Amino acid sequence: MWPSGKVADRQRGPLIVGTGIAGLYIAIRSRELGLKPLLVTKARLEESNTRYAQGGIAAAIGRDDSVQRHLRDTVRAGAGLVNRPAARVLAFEAPARIADLVRLGVPFDTIDGQIQLGREAAHSRARILHAGGDATGYSIEESLRHRVLEMGIEVRERTILREIRPGRSGLPEAIVSAADGTAVETLDPRPLVLATGGAGSLYRQSTNPSVTTGDGVAVAFRAGAIVSDLEFFQFHPTVFFRPGAPRFLITEALRGEGALLRNVKGDRFLPSIHPDGELAPRDVVSRAIAAEIDRTGHPCVYLDATEIPRDRLYTRFPSVCRFLATFGLDPARDRIPVAPVAHYMIGGVTTDTDGRTSLVGVYAGGEVASTGVHGANRLGSNSLLEGLVFGERIARDLLHPSAGGTRPRFPSTPIAWPPGAGGPEDPARIDELRNDLWRNVGIARSRTGLSSAVRAFDRIRATVEPAEDGRPPGPGANAALTASLIAQAALARTESRGSHYRSDFPGPDPRWARRLYWVRAGSSA
C-alpha cells in the first residue's frame, strides 16, 4: 500500500524513465532548476517516437491565430471528452514552450526570418511549426539530446524499468534491469517520472519504433496507479503501403499542402463523407480509407500530391521524398500507396495538469500520460506539444511540490489482476497478441472481436504474469497487461466516439460522454 502523506525528502534528483521529447525536456528543465536528474532508457538515448514525428508541433503564434482558436480546435477534435482545464493549459502555454525550444537550439524552418507555419487536418489556422521540413521530431530529439549531454546529465541506456514499489518517506523505489533481464537493481527512493511513450508497436501494423510497448502503463497499473482513456487509440490514415516495406508515415502536412486521397479507380471519396474532405479529423479519414479498402477489395488507397509544385514537395518534404525514391516513386509524378495503421495511444496513466499520478512521488508525462487533453481523438501536432507543456509543469512541481506532495484524487473502477504462473515468455505468444490487437482492437471494433481479444490476452497473461514470488515482470507480461486493458476499456464503451469505433454501436451516446478510469483491485489509489 502506498503512503498518502507528505513526501519528506526531495533532495535526491528525479529518476526520469524515457528519452522522447517529454523525458529529455523534463531532464533539461530539472537540471536548469537545480535538480540532478537520472535519465533511464530501454534502448539508445535517441530512440523514441519523437525521433520519427514528421508532422510538426502546434502553437498559436501566427498573426491571424490565437490561443483561444487553438483551444477550440483541440476541444472540437476531442469529440466531447476533452478535459478543458488541461486543454486550456496546453493552448495557452504553447507559445512559451516553443520559445524554450528555440532557446535550446531547435532549428525551426523560417521564411524571411519568421517561423514558417503549416496547416493540418482539423486546425482552423496554419499553426504547425516544422524543422528540417518533415524531420521535425528528429530535429527536436537531436537538439535536446545534445543539450542533455552538454549539461552532463547522467544517462543509463539499455536499462528497463521493471517495477515500482513504495519506498521510504513516501518516495517510490524503482526496480530496473539490463535490457536482457539481467543485473536487476533497486534504485534508491526518489521522485519518479514516467516518460515511457505509448504502445503502438503492440499492434501488428504500426508507425512506432519497437520500444513502444506500453511498459509505463503496465508498471504503473501493477503498482496501483489509476489509468484512463485506454480505449482511445489513434490510427494514422496515411502510412506507406507495400508488402514487405516498412510502415513509413506520410505526414498529414502533405494533405495540408493540397494532396488528395483517391481510390484504386482514381476517384476521391472523402468529400462525400466529411465537409473538410482530406483535412477531416484523423479518425474520420482512417475509417473512410478502411471502408474504401473493404469496398474495393484493393489493399490500399492513393495519396495524390502531383498538383503540388515539385520544388515545394522536395523542399518541404525531403524525408518523404527520399524514402519514396528508394521504391522508385516520385510524389510529383506518382501517386503514393497508403493505408491506416496504429499510431498514438491517447489514454495512459492518469495525471493532473502538473503530471502527478495517483501514486505519491510518481509523475507521468508525454504519451504515457492521460490528462484528458486529447479527449477521444487527438488533434494532430498536439502530441509533441503535450510533452513540453506538461513536462515544464512536472519539472516545476519536482522543485516545489503541489500541496506538499499529496496525491491527486481521481474516480476509478477496480479490475482484478491476479498473479500468474510466472512462466517463460514465448515470442510466438507476443506475436499472437499483436495480431489479435490489430484484428480485433483496431480501427473498427465489435463485441465479438473485443471479447475474443480479452480472452486471448488473459490466456497469455496467466502464463507470463509473475507469480507472487517477488520476481519483477518482463516485457511479455507488460505487453499482455497493456493489451488487455486497452481491449477491456474498448469492450466497456458501448458507443462510437472519436478514435474508438464500434460497428455494433456506430454512433455516439450522450450517456457515454464521460471518461473511463481503471485501477487494480485492492490498491489504495
Annotated catalytic residues are 282
In the three-class reduction of DSSP (H, G, I as helix; E, B as strand; rest coil), residue 43 is classed as coil
C-alpha cell at 226: 489509476
C-alpha cell at 437: 490487437
- Alpha-carbon distance values, 433 to 204, 416, 455, 456 (Å): 9, 20, 11, 8
> Quick one: which H or E segment has residue 311?
helix 310-316
C-alpha–C-alpha distance, residues 519 and 510, integer Å: 24
C-alpha cell at 374: 486529447
Q: What is the DSSP string of 360-387?
A: TTEEE-GGGEE-STTTTSPPTT-HHHHH
C-alpha–C-alpha distance, residues 101 and 115, integer Å: 13
**How many C-beta neighbours within 10 Å does residue 309 have?**
12
- Alpha-carbon distance values, 182 to 43, 82, 173, 178, 185 (Å): 15, 42, 18, 5, 9
C-beta of residue 144 within 8 angstroms of C-beta of residue 27: no
Could you give the angle at the alpha carbon of 207 between the alpha carbons of 41 and 205, nearest 5°? 115
C-alpha–C-alpha distance, residues 512 and 523, integer Å: 26
C-beta of residue 138 within 8 angstroms of C-beta of residue 150: no
Could you give the angle at the alpha carbon of 525 between the alpha carbons of 186 and 171, nearest 5°? 35
C-alpha cell at 364: 507521468
| Dihedral pair phi/psi, residue 26, rounded to 5° | -60, -40
Total residue count of the chain as it appears in this document: 525
